Amino acid sequence: MSINETVLEMHFHNPIFDLFRETLGLGEGNFNFFKYSPQRECFVGFDQAFVRTDLSEDALFNKLKASARDDGYSLSNFFLGYFLQYKVVKTLQKRMRHTPHQITARPHYRVSLDTIKNINTGQSQHELLFNLNRNQGALVYYACPMLFDRSELYREEPDLDLLRLADLSDCPSIYDDNESHFIYFNDTGASPIWCSNPTEGKAYKPSEVVENVRQQLIDPAELRENQLRLLDSLKGVTENVITRKEEKILSLVADSLTILQFTSEEPNKQRQANG
């Protein structure tokens, strides 16, 4: 099995969801996720046992709309959307033309960004992610696993500490010049360097990102505001029939979007305790 983006997402899929469940205190509550499927033109849902169910795009939109407008997103039933675009991290032993001056170690590590415009859409994957991240409260990261040995894929418990989530909020450019651009790491625990104009950014552990989400739950108004923004960002995808061009554009980032649905009484109890 070769290490590619799909394999990496599958490897870290379950432990990340477990982390959400444990950190948010959901216990055995219902926990669903939705992924967009360009082939089927719908969001595909799985329950905790990963039994497949289908939810049409209109049904999901109406469910989100009802929760936001009528229920005020009660904390016993809420949605969270985030983008993790997995990337393969390459090990480099020597400096190259694009290597920023901040990189001094041997070996060091590099991620190639998809900045070449798609011939069908006129946009690159990076452009779409960069624009998504402009939404206030967005959770958009390049997931950069420091995983280089295939044997690591067969661990019974994947190590989430190997996953570095580079925050697109620190990216200095939309990189719309149709040229090659990269993220560099001086070592496996270092901060990311965005190139070609070297800019140091931040990378987080999954536990830090989920803790940030947990903090949002303490403020129901902030939670509702963020989820209304999620609703608005999905509106063009879910409310109307997707045109062929929109489908092609969406397919560039569809794999990185996950919508989580939580149903549990425990967060309400926690909120009352904190209140």
Residues 242-269: what's their mean pLDDT? 64
Give the pLDDT band of residue 139 (cuts 50, 70, 90). Answer: confident
* pLDDT of 74 above 60: no
pLDDT exceeds cutoff 80 at 112: yes
Task: Indicate the pTM of the whole model.
Answer: 0.78
**What is the pLDDT, as a whole number, of residue 67?**
46
Question: Model confidence over 15-67: pLDDT tens digits?
Answer: 998 888 788 765 555 666 666 554 433 333 332 222 223 445 455 555 544 54
Highest mean pLDDT among 30-39, 81-90, 266-275: 81-90
Q: Which residue has the higher pLDDT, 106 or 262?
A: 106
> Residue 198: is its pLDDT beyond 50?
yes
pLDDT digits 0-9 by tens, 205-240: 999 998 887 776 666 566 666 666 655 655 544 444
The pLDDT of residue 49 is: 24
pLDDT at 179: 92
The whole-number pLDDT of residue 271 equals: 43
Q: Which of 69-73, 225-229, 258-262 has the lowest mean pLDDT?
A: 69-73
pLDDT of residue 1: 56
Q: Of 22-26, 127-131, 140-144, which one has max mean pLDDT?
A: 140-144
Does residue 171 have a pLDDT over 70? yes
Average pLDDT of the chain, as a whole number: 75
- Kindly tell me if the per-residue pLDDT of 90 is higher than 60: yes
Residue 193 predicted with pLDDT over 60: yes
| pLDDT score recorded for residue 53 | 33
To which residue do tokens 């020597």 refer? 94
Q: Catalogue the E-assigned strands of 181-256.
A: 182-185, 192-195, 199-200, 203-204
Query: Which own/partner contact pairs does 203-208 have at CB distance under 8 Å and 24+ positions apart?
Result: 203/144, 203/164, 203/165, 203/166, 203/167, 204/141, 204/164, 204/165, 204/167, 205/160, 205/161, 205/163, 205/164, 205/165, 206/12, 206/16, 206/19, 206/160, 206/163, 206/165, 207/19, 207/23, 207/160
- Separation between Cα atoms, residue 61 and residue 53, nearest integer Å: 16
* Banded model confidence at residue 114, pLDDT cuts 50, 70, 90: very high
